[in-house]
Amino acid sequence: MQKYSSIILRIGMGLVMIWFGLQQGQSPESWTKFLPSFTTSLPLSQITLIYLNAWMEICLGILLIFGFYTRIVAFILAVHLLGITFSVGYGPTGARDFGLTIALFAIFLHGESDWSLDNWFKAREETQVQSIS
C-alpha cells in the first residue's frame, strides 16, 4: 500500500492544481479578490495575472500527474502556494493552502515514483547504458 501513496498524492495534487487553474480561467474576475493589493500597480492587469496563474497551474498540474520533472514541479508549486498562503493570511483559505503546500513539499521530498515519466526515462536510460557496456 505504501508503494501507491506517493503516486496517489502526486496525481491528486495534480488534479487539484488543474481544477484551480480551470476555475481561474473560467471566471478570472472572481479570483482578483485573492490578489495582493500591490498587483493593481503592475503593468499587467489583474485579470491577465489570473489568466497567467491559471495556465501555470494547469500546465504544472499536468506535469505533476504524469510525473515529469516531479521534484522541480512540486517545488515550484509548493513555493507558489506558500506565497498564496501568506498573502491570504490566517483563515480557512490560508489553512487549506498551507495543507496543500505541505503535500506538494512531501512530493518534492519523495521525488520520482513508479508510474511516472521520470521513472520511465530513468529506466530507459539505464537500459541504454547497459546495452552499450
* Backbone dihedral angles phi then psi of residue 55, each to the nearest 5 degrees: -65, -40
Domain range summary for the chain, segments of one domain joined by +: 2-132
18: closest CA among 64, 55, 61?
Answer: 61
With bands split at pLDDT 50, 70 and 90, how would you rate the model's confidence at 133?
low
Specify whether the CB–CB gap between 12 and 113 falls below 8 A.
no
Per-residue pLDDT of 61-113, as tens digits, reads: 999 999 999 999 999 999 999 999 988 888 898 999 999 999 999 999 988 88
Integer Cα distance of 110 and 105 in angstroms: 9
Give the span between the Cα atoms of 39 and 18, in whole angstroms.
Answer: 23
What one-character-per-residue DSSP string does the chain give?
-HHHHHHHHHHHHHHHHHHHHHHHHH-GGGGGGGS-GGGGGSSS-HHHHHHHHHHHHHHHHHHHHHTSSHHHHHHHHHHHHHHHHHHH-SSHHHHHHHHHHHHHHHHHHH---SSSHHHHHHHHHHHHHHHH-
Summarised one tens digit per residue, pLDDT across range 3-59 is 889 999 999 999 999 999 999 999 999 999 989 889 999 999 999 999 999 999 999
Global pTM exceeds 0.85: yes
